[in-house]
């Protein structure tokens, strides 16, 4: 994987056979921006010479790279929206006798109106999220544009003639009389007489909704009947309503925010949001950030690769000159991360749910660094840092240009974090065990810190308003909780040195909250008089066989000893 500025380049596949930007007066992506757009095509990776032979022009370095790779972004790119709007202007309807529509359009026929459709071309700004193994919801900004394509054809009946009369038909008028955009059943915008309307919308609420493009088509024909005694003319009309729907998620990002101050001067912030998020900026200059799991690439909507041009007698398929492009988000990390890594923010806690890898929802010709293992789709993060600028805190969204509205809860967003004082004392000990007493208090006030929930098994007897404090004390691998006096006792049966640590619950749900504390305690049977006596007794009994053997050896040696006088 390569990194170029804010763009992450990962080995992948892109076809050189791509649509060219339309020639319009709209701002268009330049060649390098265009090079980042195309995915979902088989890999061709032509050489510079082959590219020049095919297209008659030289390509930039980034264009050459994009012909052999998929390019992913560190943040939602703007190129998809620019391309879509530019391409949309090249979308042309048919004539009165021909209709143009994409393969996936739902067409309707009336008496004289045929192949009529109203099809959503694109909704921008928006991001398609590869969320898990079977969900790819479309998140759209609360305010944006819906691009529509409406077309139809009119089958004017053929005239007929007999000996007594002649019937002729003519098309007097045809039009799109009304075009509407509705959120569920609520009208939010309407216009008329446009085959390619660009409709501004403003959505209410958040979460799932249905956006509907609806159009009324009117046709007026004249039928003239001529007989020997004169002619009569009748005016006939037909109305037909066509529509298209998109199920989507309104990306109305709102974040609940809580602040805290640590005893050492550090700042804490906890942020909750129910929708996917891109990142947090903690300072005005953006030097301290928390990144979410999402990365981005752009891909065309392949439903618009071909168009059908239909008339009364034939239908012809043709390559489309207008292809919408969407931003797509995929998880590239298993969880949030802080930046910079050294001297940057510390992620204290992450709230979320495990989601399976969405790699099966990625197009077969797209290769990006999507996680292959389950990842945490987080809805809350608690961060600690020495410099958090509350006035410039920003929660950035996965839809381009969207940031969260920060909301402080009615109960207040400030949390007090205090130092805790953990003390450990050996209460009694013998040669087989030791009992230690652990005491946990507020370092500032001396108030006992209770961790035990006295009413856990009898919740209906718990006094109203009683706060149960989360957290525990670990003694090696054992977990204990203090009582109402802030005291817990533990019996140790294995000699050794033990780490005794207080693990407080999250400060977000406690006021006051505490930081942890650590003490160490050691115990060994030799640390007691009984232990020494027992050791001496054991040594005595163990040494008896050796003493007896030594005594026997000395006696045997003296018995076998030959006096020096006997040797002369």
Of 47-51, 155-159, 207-211, 483-487, least confident by mean pLDDT is 47-51
**DSSP tag of 506:** P
Any idea of the CA torsion for 395, 398, 400, 404, to the nearest 10 degrees?
-30
**Residue 334: pLDDT band with limits 50, 70, 90:** confident
Task: Name residue, tokens 């403003």.
Answer: 202
Are residues 498 and 424 in contact, defined by beta-carbon separation less than 8 angstroms? Answer: no
pLDDT at position 7 over 50: no
Helix (H) or strand (E) holding 480: strand 478-480
Mean pLDDT on 341-350 = 92
Distance, in Å, from the CA atom of 34 to the CA atom of 63, rounded to the nearest integer, reads 8
- Angle (CA) 70 74 78, round 5°: 80
**Mean local confidence (pLDDT), 108-117:** 97
pLDDT of residue 526: 58
Query: How high is the pLDDT of residue 416?
Result: 86
| Confidence grade of residue 500 (pLDDT, cut at 50, 70, 90) | very high
Radius of gyration of the chain (CA): 39
**What digits encode the pLDDT tens for the residues 513-540?**
999 999 999 887 655 545 545 545 565 5
Q: Minimum mean pLDDT among 14-23, 40-49, 164-173: which range? A: 14-23
**Mean pLDDT score of the chain, rounded to an integer?**
84
Residues 6+ apart with CB under 8 A from 434: 426, 428, 491, 492, 523
- CATH 2.60.40.10 for domain 419-527, yes or no, is yes
Model confidence at 48, pLDDT cuts 50, 70, 90, reads: low
CB-based contact 151:101 (threshold 8 Å): yes
Q: Look at strands 113-129 and 325-331 and give their pairing.
A: parallel
The stretch 309-325 carries a mean pLDDT of 93
Residue 8, pLDDT > 50, answer no
In this prediction, residue 20 carries a pLDDT of 44
Write down the pLDDT at residue 563. 60
- Nearest-angstrom CA–CA distance, 29 and 553: 103
User: What does the domain layout of the chain look like in residue ranges?
Assistant: 419-527, 538-563
In the predicted structure, residue 357 carries a pLDDT above the cut 80: yes
Return the minimum-mean-pLDDT range out of 47-56, 265-274, 331-340.
47-56
The residue-averaged pLDDT of 229-239 equals 93
| Neighbouring-strand partners of residue 238 | 219
Q: What pLDDT digit, counting tens, does each position of 428-465 carry?
A: 988 788 999 999 999 999 999 999 875 454 444 434 34
Q: 564 pLDDT exceeds 60?
A: no
Supply the pLDDT for residue 16.
Answer: 30
Kindly report the backbone phi and psi dihedral angles of residue 42, in degrees, each rounded to the nearest multiple of 5, phi listed first.
-60, 155
pLDDT of residue 47: 56
> Which of the pair, 21 or 99, is modelled with greater confidence?
99
How much of the chain exceeds pLDDT 90, in percent? 62
**Per-residue confidence (pLDDT) for residue 555, from 0 to 100:** 66
Q: Are 207 and 250 in contact (CB under 8 A)?
A: yes
**470 — pLDDT class (breaks 50, 70, 90):** confident
498-523 burial, b for 16+ CB within 10 Å, e for fewer?
bebbbebbbbbebebbbbebebebeb
DSSP labels for 229-270? Answer: TEEEEEEEEEEEEEEEEEEEEE---EEEEEEEE-TTS-EEEE
d(CA 325, CA 511): 49
Q: How far apart are CA 222 and CA 92, in angstroms?
A: 28
Residue 60 has pLDDT above 80, yes or no: no
CA distance 477 to 465: 33
∠ CA(326), CA(330), CA(333), 5° rounding?
A: 155
Q: Which carries the bigger pLDDT value, residue 543 or residue 450? A: 450
Inter-residue contact 336 to 381 (CB < 8 Å): yes
Query: pLDDT by residue (tens digit) across 245-257?
Result: 999 999 999 999 9
Query: How high is the pLDDT of residue 24?
Result: 40
pLDDT at 425 over 90: yes
* DSSP-based three-state secondary structure for 214: strand
pLDDT mean over 110-134: 96
The pLDDT assigned to 363 comes to: 85
Task: Say yes or no to pLDDT of 25 above 90.
Answer: no
SS (H, E, C) 94-121: CCCCCEEEECCCCCECCCCEEEEEEEEE
- Please check the confidence at residue 400 and state whether its pLDDT lies above 80: yes
């Amino acid at each position: 994987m390569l990194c170029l500025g804010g763009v992450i380049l990962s080995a992948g596949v892109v076809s050189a056979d791509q649509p060219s930007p339309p020639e319009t007066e709209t701002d268009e992506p330049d060649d390098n921006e265009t090079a980042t757009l195309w995915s979902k095509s088989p890999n061709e990776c032509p050489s510079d010479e082959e590219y020049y032979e095919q297209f008659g022009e030289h390509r930039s370095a980034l264009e050459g790279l994009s012909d052999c790779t998929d390019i992913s972004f560190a943040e939602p790119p703007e190129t998809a929206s620019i391309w879509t709007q530019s391409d949309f202007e090249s979308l042309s309807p048919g004539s009165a006798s021909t209709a143009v529509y994409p393969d996936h359009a739902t067409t309707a026929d009336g008496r004289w109106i045929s192949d009529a459709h109203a099809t959503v071309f694109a909704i921008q700004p928006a991001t398609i999220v590869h969320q898990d193994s079977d969900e790819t919801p479309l998140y759209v900004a609360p305010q944006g544009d819906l691009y529509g394509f409406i077309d139809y054809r009119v089958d004017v009946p053929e005239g007929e003639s007999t000996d007594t009369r002649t019937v002729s038909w003519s098309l007097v008028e045809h039009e799109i009389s009304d075009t509407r955009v509705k959120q569920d059943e609520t009208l939010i915008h309407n216009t008329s007489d446009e085959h390619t309307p660009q409709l501004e919308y403003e959505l209410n609420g958040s979460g799932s909704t249905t956006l509907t493009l609806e159009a009324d088509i009117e046709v007026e024909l004249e039928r003239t009947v001529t007989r020997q005694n004169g002619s009569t003319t009748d005016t006939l009309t037909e109305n037909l309503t066509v529509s298209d729907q998109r199920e989507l998620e309104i990306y109305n990002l709102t974040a609940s925010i809580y602040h805290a101050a640590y005893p050492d001067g550090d700042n804490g912030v906890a942020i909750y949001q129910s929708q996917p998020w891109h990142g947090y900026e903690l300072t005005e200059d953006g030097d301290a950030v928390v990144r979410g799991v999402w990365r981005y690439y752009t891909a065309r909507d392949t439903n618009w690769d071909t168009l059908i041009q239909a008339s009364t007698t034939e239908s012809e398929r043709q390559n489309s000159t207008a292809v919408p492009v969407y931003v797509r988000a995929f998880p590239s990390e298993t969880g949030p991360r802080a930046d910079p890594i050294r001297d940057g923010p510390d992620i204290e806690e992450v709230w979320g749910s495990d989601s399976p890898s969405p790699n099966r929802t990625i197009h077969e010709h797209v290769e990006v660094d999507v996680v292959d293992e389950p990842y945490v789709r987080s809805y809350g993060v608690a961060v600690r840092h020495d410099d958090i600028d509350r006035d410039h805190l920003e929660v950035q969204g996965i839809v381009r240009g969207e940031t969260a509205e920060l909301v402080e809860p009615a109960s207040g967003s400030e949390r007090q974090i205090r130092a805790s004082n953990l003390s450990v004392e050996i209460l009694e000990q013998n040669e087989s065990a030791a009992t230690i007493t652990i005491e946990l208090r507020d370092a500032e006030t001396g108030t006992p810190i209770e961790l035990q929930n006295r009413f856990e098994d009898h919740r209906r007897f718990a006094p109203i308003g009683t706060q149960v404090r989360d957290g525990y004390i670990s003694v090696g691998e054992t977990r204990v909780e203090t009582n109402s006096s802030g005291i817990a006792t533990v019996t140790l049966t294995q000699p050794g040195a033990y780490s005794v640590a207080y693990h407080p619950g999250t400060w977000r749900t406690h006021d006051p909250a505490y930081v942890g504390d650590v003490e160490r305690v050691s115990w060994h049977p030799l640390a007691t008089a009984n232990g020494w006596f027992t050791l001496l007794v054991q040594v005595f009994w163990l040494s008896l066989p050796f003493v007896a053997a030594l005594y026997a050896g000395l006696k045997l040696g003296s018995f076998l000893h030959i006096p020096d006088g006997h040797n002369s």
